[in-house]
Structure 1
Amino acid sequence: MDRRSFLAAAGVAAVGAGVGTSTLQRGFRTIGVPRDADSIQAGVDAASPGDLVLVDAGTYDENVVVSTPGVTLRGVDRNAVVLDGDFDPGNGVDVAADGVAVENLTVRRFQGTGVYWHGVAGFRGSYLTAYNNGYYGIYATGSSDGRFEYSYASGHPDAGFYLGRHRPYDATVANVVAEHNAVGYSGTSTGGRLTVRDSIFRHNRTGVLPNTLDTTDPPQRASRFVGNVVSENDDEDAPALRYVAPTFGMGVVLWGASDNVVADNRVDGHPNFGIVADHNVVAPSGNEVRNNVVRGSGEADLALGAPAGEGNRFAGNQFATSAPSGLRADASDGSRRVAAVFERQAVAQGDPAPGGDWRDQPEPDPKPTMRDPGAPPRIADRATSWGDDGENGDGEPGGGTE
């Protein structure tokens, strides 16, 4: 079923004022777990497009697969509804259908990914906690028209939040927190209308990493990173896969990335680079780095590696050091010294993969839960948020949600 068909099946209607936040699904059923179905999977299997599967408090030892479009899977309490993988194989929630929202629950200790959308049009993860899973935390690939918001991810050997391998992505990541991961946010080969904003990326091995990793997919390009706090990403005890070793101790890394905007962020406390663009598969080009406050970097606050492409621009930033030293006035050439730091880090981090075990990373404190978990579901797309109108939002613009 394509996106237009499932929206029609769900019977959506826009009511009231505001963009996206008032788009409710009507004519839906609420399927209670365990009231109406004895497992989450049974509840999801019984749902039709537009239905709400509402899960009661408890710990659920199951892998959930969602294959019906337009379904909302929601817990009654983010901290009390827990999918626990007990370190067994598989993903926590695996979504292969358009327009599915997963909300207000915790997913932990799966060998795979916490919550995973793949090959879909329309997705949303709201008020989620994902921790100590063996791959990614909250993840979408080959997808479009989606949103991650008011969520938390920690203890993953790849990215806490990941959007990858699609163009255009038409996605927003807003008011999230990522810590103790290999990477806070990663976007591999993403492009077009993708914004990461008002979030916190701290105490990961690497903070924010839009990247190109190979020639299989087009190079990464055209994302926006605005209003975030990126702080002290040098956690040697965080788990990691080998490929991210060169970027350890860096805040925002445009790694083979082009035509991105990095603006109005606060980036501090990194032993290598605060904000850096460097060659990886392709040279970085056309990136605009402006109006950021970057402090306390060991190698340089702002940096551009060699070889560099054309059109990179660094303007209006508050910083103390840069490489090359004249970067603010002239970003036409990068510095070989910058590339050497990436090479040095790849060696210094060693082989096999560095860091701690994802199974025993710190357990997070309780996080804000949805105020009205029984509310009608909202269509899963980029624009539709639980927070922007303040109705159910517990996030803090400009600083994520604790």
Structure 2
Amino acid sequence: MTNRQIKSLMCIAVVMAAGLGVAAPPAAAAGRRVHPGDSIQDAVNAARPGDIITVMPGTYYENVLITKRLTLRGFGASTVIRPPVTQAAPAAPAAPDAQAGAGAAAPGAPAAPARAATACSQADTGICVMGTPEQSVDEVKIRSLAVSGFKRNGIWASYTDRLSVERVISEKNGTWGIAQERSTRGVFRGNIARDNTESGIFIANTVAREGGATDTLGAVIRRNVLTGNRIGVTVRRVRNLSVTGNLLTGNCGGVFVVGDEGEPGAGAMTIRNNRIHENNKFCKGNSRLPDIQGVGIVLTGAEETVVRGNSIRGNVGASPLSGGILLFKSFVGATNTDNVIQDNVVRDNQPADLANQGTGTGNRFVGNRCGTSVPAGMC
């Protein structure tokens, strides 16, 4: 092909593109950098929806409130957000999150960003992502940073859609490591949540009241490392999510699925391919919940949940909740119904590898490799 022919074809292509209305590629998201000594919050306030804020290595002493679509990313463990040196007056402590009928104190359900800012500060939380009942905050991404030592939560989200938290370290916080309520399609992947007073990862319909489970529209908790917490993962009064490929060890309990008597029931979820080993830390009980120690997976008030292909070993304790996989009688009268416990390796858990308590119906234990069960005969 001659040069003249090539040029002619290029001209034709340009004319065709113009005729078909082919647009120029969209402009890349604007980037902002925050350095030690700068304010992350100032950068968030100045950002336009869709901006990427890169937080350089260093320690930042502040709370961060996000009320718009953006990406906040750091450099892993070398980018650390810690409580401000001058703390706001602490809020009343939250109730333990595993209580089947009781709600923990909420960091606030704001009707406007100003209320959200107040709630975030009073809650002593590292990063708050706050929408409103009228307008969710969509597609916020939090990446590759650490939040440590806050009086309540490392990361808290309310009224969000498609929130993504990945490769975050959330440690030594006074309630939850990473928590979300009233939200849909969240993705929590590749995080480390350790040594938090309550759950490492906590997903709920709402923490302020009881009520029927809400549909998360496919929330994902995947490939996280959860250790040293009261409970590794708690999913409370929600439906339609997956807990897959996580490592849970050294907590008081591994995974709690908690429902109540409301409709629709909690469940319709998958707990699959997790390693839940030696969660033998001791946590004292309270008026609504017994002591927690040696707990693998507990379902209480759950329905249509599939627990499959997990490795659950060496969870040992003397609590009524202790053991490998337990369908537990609910304190508020909710039953476990139509759950499938299948193809799990459940070994060396005490007092039993598998236990089915309460009056629920339609629960099936199929193909599990285990040594002991209550009642006998399920292994």
TM-score category by the smaller chain?
0.7 to 0.9
Gaps of 5+ in 1: 1-24, 329-402
CA shift in 2, pair 1:74/1:217, >3 Å: farther
CA shift in 2, pair 1:26/1:210, >3 Å: farther
Q: Deviations over 1:133-168 (max 9, x none)?
A: 001001111100110011000111211011111621
Q: Deviations over 1:294-346 (max 9, x none)?
A: 00011110110022x21100001000010000335xxxxxxxxxxxxxxxxxx
Determine helix, strand or coil for the equivalent of 1:42: helix
2:255 to 176, 185, 208: 208
Separation in 1 of the partners of 2:325 and 2:148? 31
2:215 to 133, 154, 168: 168
Amino acid in the other structure paired with 1:283 = T
Q: Is the 8 A contact 2:354 2:374 kept in 1?
A: yes
* Relative contact order higher in (CA < 8 Å, ≥ 6 apart): 1
Structure number with larger C-alpha Rg: 2
Q: Give the deviation of 1:49 after TM superposition.
A: 1.4
Q: Which residue pairs with 1:64 in the alignment?
A: 64
Amino acid in the other structure paired with 1:40 = I
Determine helix, strand or coil for the equivalent of 1:50: coil
Q: Is the 8 A contact 1:111 1:135 kept in 2?
A: yes
CA shift in 2, pair 1:222/1:206, >3 Å: same
Following superposition of structure 1 onto structure 2, how do residues 190-229 of structure 1 map, counting pairs within 5 Å? 190-192=238-240, 194-212=241-259, 214-215=260-261, 218-229=264-275
Q: Is the 8 A contact 2:294 2:350 kept in 1?
A: no
Q: Give the deviation of 1:27 after TM superposition.
A: 2.8
Separation in 2 of the partners of 1:159 and 1:244? 15
Determine helix, strand or coil for the equivalent of 2:41: helix
Q: Which residue pairs with 2:79 in the alignment?
A: 81
CA shift in 2, pair 1:239/1:177, >3 Å: farther
Is 1:137 aligned to 2:177, yes or no? Answer: yes
Q: Is the 8 A contact 1:157 1:241 kept in 2?
A: no
Is 1:256 aligned to 2:256, yes or no? Answer: no
Q: Deviations over 1:106-132 (max 9, x none)?
A: 000101110111111110100100000
Q: Is the 8 A contact 1:182 1:239 kept in 2?
A: no
2:348 to 275, 290, 296: 296
Moved more, 241-250 or 150-159: 241-250
Following superposition of structure 1 onto structure 2, how do residues 186-335 of structure 1 map, counting pairs within 5 Å? 186-192=234-240, 194-212=241-259, 214-215=260-261, 218-236=264-282, 243=288, 245-271=290-316, 272-280=322-330, 281=332, 282-307=334-359, 309-327=360-378
Moved more, 160-169 or 86-95: 86-95
Q: Is the 8 A contact 1:92 1:114 kept in 2?
A: yes
Q: Which residue pairs with 2:126 in the alignment?
A: 92
Q: How many residues align?
A: 298
Separation in 2 of the partners of 1:217 and 1:247? 27
Separation in 2 of the partners of 1:64 and 1:300? 44
Following superposition of structure 1 onto structure 2, how do residues 22-37 of structure 1 map, counting pairs within 5 Å? 27-34=28-35
What is the Cα-based RMSD across aligned positions, in Å? 2.2
Q: Give the deviation of 1:73 after TM superposition.
A: 0.6
Q: Which residue pairs with 1:359 in the alignment?
A: none
CA shift in 2, pair 1:216/1:82, >3 Å: farther
Determine helix, strand or coil for the equivalent of 1:168: strand
Separation in 2 of the partners of 1:55 and 1:86? 17
Separation in 2 of the partners of 1:137 and 1:216? 27
Separation in 1 of the partners of 2:297 and 2:266? 14
Amino acid in the other structure paired with 1:219 = G
Determine helix, strand or coil for the equivalent of 1:54: strand
TM-score by length of 1: 0.70
CA shift in 2, pair 1:244/1:176, >3 Å: farther
Q: Is the 8 A contact 2:200 2:229 kept in 1?
A: yes
Separation in 2 of the partners of 1:254 and 1:274? 11
Determine helix, strand or coil for the equivalent of 1:38: coil
Amino acid in the other structure paired with 2:221 = V
